[in-house]
């Protein structure tokens, strides 16, 4: 199983709990109100300046993005997409600079190749200082020659310091698509893997495109383990269903929405974002 781990300002990390779950002391625990946003931007044809402008209009403190690319080379005769990860960081402004984490998943249009320079994955942007980050590759049942369920998918996580002195651990992911064949089983295994990897000492925020419905086995993997479905009132996000979620632990939810991603009359993605106003309880 592929795993990458880097740290900023931490001498050594032993396992995920040490890396991303440093418990605050009761004496310093405090609450912090934030706006959280998760969005699958459909990076294959994303208009990044418009995507950034739409995001800025909602001013999230914590942003989780799926299907964003670092693709310097063209694929299938198409021109290079470029580095959307850094382009978005720059366009969002100085409040987000140097605080992102991009978790590579696979090569867009070239699933499971080992020599490509192109990457698609999940990213996290915040206004808070990043302490550490990690990327995991999610379980996959099929070989690389067998379609959508063979695409490598990732879980990106990072630990951030809130102004109160407490920490919040943020995760961004994108699970296997499809409702037939091995897809539901693979998606459930991915959800179980995610739940098994998360330290639970700090407040937690998990967002992404889960490609599944509320009440499904995937969804229940989280809600039966103490997670709050923070976007439960947000409404459909893709294809008339609510398949994009924000899950939280140790947070109070004030409101949730899934606005249509229009900018200057143009629809920016086939997914609506989920935006949640919450208080993180330290």
Per residue in 187-207, pLDDT (tens digit) is 999 999 999 999 788 999 999
Across the chain, where does the E strand assignment appear? Answer: 3-7, 31-40, 62-71, 82-83, 101-106, 119-126, 129-137, 154-161, 167-174, 204-209, 228-229, 244-249, 251-257, 262-263, 266-267, 274-281
For residue 206 the two structure tokens come to: 């998990």
> Is residue 272 in some structural domain?
yes
Burial zone of 215 (CB within 10 Å; 0-12 exposed, 13-18 middle, 19+ buried): exposed
Rounded CA-CA distance 74/108 in Å is 10
Residue 104 placed within a domain: yes
| Mean pLDDT score, 255-260 | 98
In a domain, 9, yes or no: no
More confident residue, 240 or 75: 240
Quote the CA–CA distance of 228 and 237 in Å, as a whole number: 18
∠ CA 40-86-162 to the nearest 5 degrees? 75
pLDDT at 2 over 70: no
CA dihedral sign, ordered 178, 182, 188, 192: negative
Position 18 scores a pLDDT of 43
Residue 10 lies in a domain: no
Pick the closest to residue 125 from 72, 208, 61, 193 (CA basis). 61
Q: Which pLDDT value is given to residue 15?
A: 39
- Any domain includes 149: yes
Q: Name every residue whose Cβ is closer than 8 Å to that of residue 158 and which is 6 or more positions away in sequence.
A: 20, 101, 124, 126, 130, 131, 132, 133, 134, 169, 170
| pLDDT interval class at 145 (50, 70, 90) | low
Predicted pLDDT of residue 201: 82
Q: What is the structure's pLDDT at 80?
A: 85
Residue 226 has pLDDT above 90, yes or no: yes
The span from the CA of 130 to the CA of 141, in Å, is: 33
Pick from 20-24, 134-138, 180-184, 214-218: least confident: 20-24
Indicate whether 84 pLDDT > 80. Answer: yes
Across the chain, mean pLDDT equals 87
What is the residue range of 263's domain? Answer: 30-281
Residue 103 has which token pair? 């978790």
Distance separating alpha carbons of residues 208 and 132, to the nearest angstrom: 20
The pLDDT value given to residue 150: 73
What pLDDT shows up at residue 164? 86
**Mean pLDDT score, 226-248:** 97
Q: pTM of the entire structure?
A: 0.88
CATH number of the domain enclosing 130: 3.60.10.10
Q: Is residue 13 part of a domain?
A: no
Give me the number of domains the chain comprises. 1
Is the pLDDT assigned to residue 20 strictly greater than 70? no
Q: Which residues of 140-161 are buried (b: 16+ CB within 10 A; e: fewer)?
A: bebeeeeeebbbbbbbbbbbbb
- Rounded to an integer, the average pLDDT of 179-184 is 88
Distance CA 227, CA 235 (A): 19
Q: What is the pLDDT of residue 119?
A: 87
- Flag whether 132 is in a domain: yes
In a domain, 204, yes or no: yes
The pLDDT of residue 118 is 86
Interhelix angle 48-58/84-92, nearest 10 degrees: 40
31-79 pLDDT, tens per residue?
899 999 999 999 989 999 999 999 999 999 999 999 999 988 877 677 8
For residue 22, is pLDDT > 50?
A: no
Distance CA 124, CA 130 (A): 10
Task: Indicate whether 103 pLDDT > 80.
Answer: yes
pLDDT at 25 over 60: no
The confidence band for 101, taking pLDDT boundaries of 50, 70 and 90, is very high
């Amino acid at each position: 199983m592929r795993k990458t781990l880097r740290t900023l300002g931490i001498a050594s990390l032993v396992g995920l709990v040490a890396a991303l779950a440093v418990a605050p002391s009761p004496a310093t625990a405090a609450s912090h109100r934030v706006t959280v946003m998760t969005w699958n931007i459909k990076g294959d044809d994303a208009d990044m300046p418009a995507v950034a402008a739409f995001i800025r209009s909602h001013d999230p403190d914590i942003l989780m993005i799926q299907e964003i690319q670092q693709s310097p080379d063209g694929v299938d005769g198409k021109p290079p997409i470029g580095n959307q990860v850094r382009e978005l960081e720059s366009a969002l402004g100085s409040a987000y600079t140097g605080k992102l984490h991009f978790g590579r998943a696979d090569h867009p249009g070239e699933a499971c190749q080992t020599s490509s320079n192109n990457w698609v994955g999940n990213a996290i942007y915040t206004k808070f200082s990043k302490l550490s980050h990690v990327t995991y590759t999610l379980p996959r049942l099929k070989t690389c020659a067998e379609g959508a369920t063979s695409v490598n998918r990732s879980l990106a996580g990072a630990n951030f310091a809130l102004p109160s002195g407490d920490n919040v651990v943020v995760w961004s992911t994108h699970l296997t698509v499809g409702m037939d064949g091995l897809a539901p089983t693979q998606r459930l295994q991915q959800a179980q893997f995610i739940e098994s990897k998360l330290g639970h000492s700090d407040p937690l925020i998990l967002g992404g495109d889960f490609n599944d419905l509320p009440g499904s086995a995937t969804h229940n993997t989280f809600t039966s383990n103490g997670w709050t479905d923070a976007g439960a009132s947000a409404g459909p996000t893709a294809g008339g269903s609510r398949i994009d979620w924000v899950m939280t632990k140790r947070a109070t939810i004030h409101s949730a929405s899934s606005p249509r991603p229009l900018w200057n009359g143009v629809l920016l993605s086939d997914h609506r974002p989920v935006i949640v106003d919450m208080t993180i309880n330290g």
